[in-house]
Amino acid sequence: MRKRARLIYNPTSGRETFKRQLPDILNEYEKAGYETSTFCTTPEALSAQKEADRCTIDGFDLIIAAGGDGTINEVVNGLSSHKAPPKLAIIPSGTTNDYARALKIPRYDFVKAAQLIHKNQTVHMDIGKVKTETDEKYFMNIGAAGFLTEVTYEVPPNMKSLFGSLAYFVKGAELLPRVGKVPVKITYDDGVYEGIASLVFVALTNSVGGFEKIAPDKTLGDGKFTLIVVKTTNFAEILRLITMIMNDGRHIQHPKVLYKKTSYVKAETQNDQQLMINIDGEYGGDAPAEFTMFKQHLEIITDLDRMQLSINTHDLISEEKEEEFKKRVRELDTRNE
């Protein structure tokens, strides 16, 4: 019997050009020996998630998720509640595509992304689960609270596509002065942090909000979250930290940063102040929130050669981008001092 693949695509993601290339995309999976079919997501809540769940129960061999990080997250949720989910392929067609960036999946050519199927290379990715008082949800990339949450909400999509991560930075700088001091209690595998925080990250990859060096020492599939807590609300200090994140990843040694590898995190606030949790770029409930780890839970089609190559060429690729950021930081720093 031929293997079956279901392509779940969001027609509204990114620049909405996906549909035109659908026959060419499907053809790649057909050539690789899959019998293919498609599901177009609808405005109804969680349609991608429900379809991924249904296909898993129905015994599909491969789910192809095409969309932005929101669609990928839904598909990941549909698959992850199952013990032995089918393989996942990703065709990034959103604006930021953080997850595809982390997995080195081509982000600007849908057919090229589909052609990865011929390489027969996969990576077993860790998946996180976040539990709040109102909800329970899987995530594949990031759980965040504090400043990043607001920034992600407030960067308009057209700004994201025009300026990429610079948009986050500019918005971030605008929002920072308004960020309140939230006293938090963060419990992790081997410790507890109690104090103020402008930022709490629980990350599964090193690609978040367009930043590529947020967890520079991350090994994918190691069964550990990277926990980052920024223990300052000082504007100038945070700006410098952001520059470090852009430049060389030295933020992990900064005295105002708690940087840990852990398989469990609990985030609470200390005086009933509201702390919104952002999950893979979307609002995911309020603290208290518990994060647990599902080690190597999803097998995802990727390009292992490119992943390896990117380790060697990383610094060259981002040099130009960094110059742009450095200039911007200098401007903002002068304005705020």
Select 146 or 281, whichever has its Cβ closest to ligand ATP.
Answer: 281
Q: By the 8 A CB rule, do 140 and 146 touch?
A: no
Residue nearer to ligand ATP on the CB measure, 8 or 298: 8
Q: Which is nearer to ligand ATP, 96 or 198 (CB)?
A: 96
| Strand pairing category for 3-9 and 62-67 | parallel
- Closest alpha carbon to 300 in 76, 4, 43: 76
Structure tokens that stand for 61 in this block: 């061999």
Measured from the CB atom, is 155 or 197 closer to ligand ATP?
155
For position 278 contacting ligand ATP by CB under 6 A, the verdict is no
Q: How far is the CB of 286 from ligand ATP (least distance, A)?
A: 20
Q: Site size for ligand ATP, by CB under 6 A? A: 19
Q: Among 18, 25, 29, 41, which residue sits at the site for ligand ATP (rule: CB under 6 A)?
A: 41
Is residue 273 a contact point for ligand ATP (CB under 6 A)? Answer: no
CA–CA separation, 30 vs 53, rounded Å? 23
**67 binds ligand ATP, rule: CB under 6 A:** yes
* Interface with ligand ATP, residue 209, by CB under 6 A: no
Whichever of 160 and 231 has its CB closer to ligand ATP, that residue is: 160
Does 51 participate in binding ligand ATP (rule CB under 6 A)? no
Choose the binding region for ligand ATP from 7-15, 99-107, 148-156, 312-320 (rule: CB under 6 A). Answer: 7-15
Q: Least distance (Å) from ligand ATP to the CB of residue 335?
A: 29
Query: What single letter denotes the amino acid at residue 12?
Result: T
Please state the closest distance from residue 248 (CB atom) to ligand ATP, in A. Answer: 26
Shortest Å distance, C-beta 274 to ligand ATP:
23
Query: Shortest distance, CB of residue 249 to ligand ATP, whole angstroms?
Result: 24
Nearer to ligand ATP, 94 or 284 (CB): 94
Among 30, 154, 282, 324, which one carries the catalytic annotation? 282
Using CB under 6 A as the binding rule, the residues of this chain from 74 to 113 that contact ligand ATP are 94-97
Distance, in Å, from the CA atom of 15 to the CA atom of 93, rounded to the nearest integer, reads 8
Residues 8-27 that bind ligand ATP (CB under 6 A): 10-14
Is 219 among the residues that bind ligand ATP (CB under 6 A)? no
Q: Give yes or no: 282 in active site.
A: yes
Contact between 42 and ligand ATP by CB under 6 A: the answer reads: yes
Query: Does position 205 bind ligand ATP by CB under 6 A?
Result: no
Unique residue bearing structure tokens 């990941």:
76
Q: Of 282, 285, 266, which Cα lies nearest the Cα of 132? A: 285
Residues 144-183 that bind ligand ATP (CB under 6 A): 157
In 3D space, the residue among 171, 139, 169 whose CA is nearest the CA of residue 154 turns out to be 171
Residue (99 or 188) nearer to ligand ATP, CB: 99
* Cα angle, residue 42 at apex, residues 36 and 47 outer, rounded to 5°: 75
The set of catalytic residues is 282
Kindly list the residues in this chain that would bind ligand ATP in the complex (CB under 6 A): 10-14, 41-43, 67-71, 94-97, 157, 281
